Structure 1
Amino acid sequence: MVRITMLDEFNQDYVRTARAKGAGENRIVFIHVIRNAMMPVLTNLGMSFAGLLGGAIIAEQVFGLPGFGSAILNAINMKDTPIVLGATLFLSFTYMLIMLVLDLVNALLNPKFRDSIEKA
């Protein structure tokens, strides 16, 4: 994914403009291209991490490991509503926190997002 996004960014107009202005290849890669290419990669990593939270329940059951997922499943089987609701709330909050951090990192990397945040 990194390779594809980097190649896509090298074909953008701002890279051509930077080369026309005489910027060195290292400066173009490290200042311009990597910052823009990392946004989809970071978003994908965050979504993968969020998916791992849900997959932990299955992995713990398959391998017989005690953990948060096993506790949730035991609570569901025992019909312990407060624990099920608390665990669901915790997982939801963790997912939202991961997405918030990703949005903030993307805002730092992309000046377009930064400008829209400052105007709001």
Structure 2
Amino acid sequence: MHPETVEARTLHWHLHERADHIPLVEQIFADHERLLGPDDPRTLHAGVELARLYGWTDPRCTALAARLVEPLYAAPEPDWDDVRAVLHYLSARHAQTGRMDEFHAVWNRYPTPDEDERLAPGDPDYPATDDDL
């Protein structure tokens, strides 16, 4: 399979939003790993997309995010949107359950250019929303 075939399958999935999208994206991610290598930016992005589809409450999301964070962060030109997404997948459960030390440990280990990303509901500096008032 040619690497561009993988890209075409990805575009096809995005156009049709198929109901069986998780198995398809799992296959696309596997194809990326096999054809492009595990550290290729397109492979890493496909992995982030798959983690997003799993949803942060799914253990598969956390496991995949843990696998992706190092190569994403160590990339010569990190895709900061993908890095932040993976960090959210790794830390969201900590914030939800009030384990703020663990939440901050994830963000402190992998600093991003946008420091506001390190805040979570419950932090004193977290920006107020209409729901908070």
**TM-score (structure 1 length as normaliser):** 0.26
1 or 2, which has the higher helix percentage?
1
Structure with the larger RCO, 1 or 2 (CA within 8 Å, 6+ apart):
1
**TM-score (structure 2 length as normaliser):** 0.24
